[in-house]
A and B are shown apart, each in its own frame.
Chain A
Amino acid sequence: MSASEAPDHSAALPDPGHHAAVRRVALGAAAVLAAALVGVAVAGISGRSAGSSNGPAFPAIHPAAAPAGWLSATLPDGAVLWYPPSMRPVTADRGAASAARLGRTGAYLLYLNATPRQGDERAANWPAFRLSHLRDDDARSARELAAAAGVRFRGGTGSCVLDSYVTKVGAHHYTELACLVQGSRASSVVVAAAPTANWPQAASLLERAIAAYRVQ
């Protein structure tokens, strides 16, 4: 055993030139690998599509009337937000409508909001606008999961973003589906959100509420 090991060490030690060559090759390979990884990362960032490559796909929104028994809130511009009876209206900005299902401690379990367009948001810049607004407004961090343009709504079309963010107050993690919807007369924003941990269970109901949203 030791006799077989000795020749290996003696053969490896006295050849520093060989080591240097091996190091150069290894460094070169590492550099090539790093460049390839950077290229893949840049391609992934710039190639944003409807569904992010490593995130969830953007959900299919099929405009449809709200199920029987759902309640509604109408904005001044005529847009109608529908919400299930398990949710109740909560305070919102003037001219906006919100509904929520709250937990026993008052935590938001489901959240819906509709607000007339107020700022510089446009269909073309909606995902970036929304994420920037979240960071400026209430979120310490926000990231896009998926986005889609030309989404059909009842009475109009919309640009949507699926994102997740962490609030500045309380560090709550939310996932939301937010759409800027353009109708024939007005445009408005509809938001459906839930705690990120609950999103897999909440998504179906919230997407149904988004699909029922109607604009004028």
Chain B
Amino acid sequence: MSAFSVRASLAALIAAAALAACGTSPPAHPAAAHHDPGTTPAAPAIPAPAATHVAAAPAATHAAKPKHKKRHKKPAAVAPVTQAPAVTQAPPPVNPMPQGNGGDHDADNNGGPDDGDGGTV
């Protein structure tokens, strides 16, 4: 009985150690997956490079494909958030051309052919 109990306890210890080893490694992988949605301030800065990685990754490594795809696809979804302000901030086109004869009466001030002046309007 005692020998059996010692063996049983050793087996239990080995099993527990094995479970502990298996239990610690999985969180390391999900950390990468959680990294994207969890880091909201850093996410907007990343998307631009992410687009280039998506194009390069498929040709580079086959083994790392799933992980890379997961990492890069999520930031890509954030990208429109960073692009939206850029679109709204686009200034209206400014026409530097003096309108209405801008100082003289050349035809070129009103869309006519350009004259031969060398530096004046």
User: A-side interface residues toward B, CB under 8 Å?
Assistant: 90-93, 96, 98, 100, 108, 111, 113-115, 117-121, 129, 133-134, 137-139, 165, 167-172, 174, 176, 178, 188-191, 193-194
Contact = CB atoms under 8 A, between A and B. Distances in A.
Given A168-B95, A169-B97, A169-B99, A137 B108 contact: yes
Given A93-B104, A137-B121, A169-B99, A115 B115 contact: yes
Contact of A167 (B108, B115, B120): B108
Contacts of A168: 95-97, 111
A113 B105 contact: no
Contact of B115 (A93, A120, A194): A93
Interface residues of B, number: 22
Interface in B88-118: 95-97, 99, 104-118
Contacts, number: 93
Q: Is the interface of B mostly helix, strand, loop or mixed?
A: loop
B119 interface: yes
Contacts of A119: 117-119
A187 to B, nearest CB: 10
A90 B99 CA distance: 19
B116 to A, nearest CB: 3
A118 B120 contact: yes
Interface of B: 95-97, 99, 104-121
A154 to B, nearest CB: 17
Given A118-B120, A137-B121, A96 B108 contact: no
Contacts of A167: 108, 111-112, 114
Nearest to A139: B114
22 contacts: A92-B115, A93-B117, A98-B115, A108-B107, A115-B118, A117-B118, A119-B118, A121-B118, A129-B118, A133-B118, A138-B108, A138-B114, A165-B114, A167-B114, A168-B95, A168-B97, A168-B111, A169-B99, A169-B110, A171-B111, A190-B116, A191-B114
B107 A118 contact: no
Contacts of A172: 111-112
Contact of A191 (B96, B109, B111, B116): B116
Contacts of B113: 108, 111, 113, 174, 176, 191, 193-194
- Most chain-A Cβ atoms within 10 A of its Cβ — which of B95, B110, B113, B119? B113
A115 B95 CA distance: 26
A93 B120 contact: yes
Q: What are the 10 closest A-B residue pairs judged by CB atoms, nearest first?
A: A119-B118, A189-B116, A170-B111, A119-B119, A169-B111, A115-B116, A118-B118, A193-B113, A111-B113, A138-B108
A170 B113 CA distance: 11
Nearest to A117: B118
A93 B95 CA distance: 22
A178 B116 contact: yes
Nearest to B119: A119
Nearest to A92: B115
Given A96-B115, A108-B113, A189-B118, 19 more contacts: A93-B104, A93-B106, A93-B115, A100-B107, A117-B118, A118-B120, A120-B118, A121-B118, A129-B118, A133-B114, A133-B118, A137-B114, A168-B95, A169-B95, A169-B110, A170-B110, A171-B111, A176-B114, A193-B113
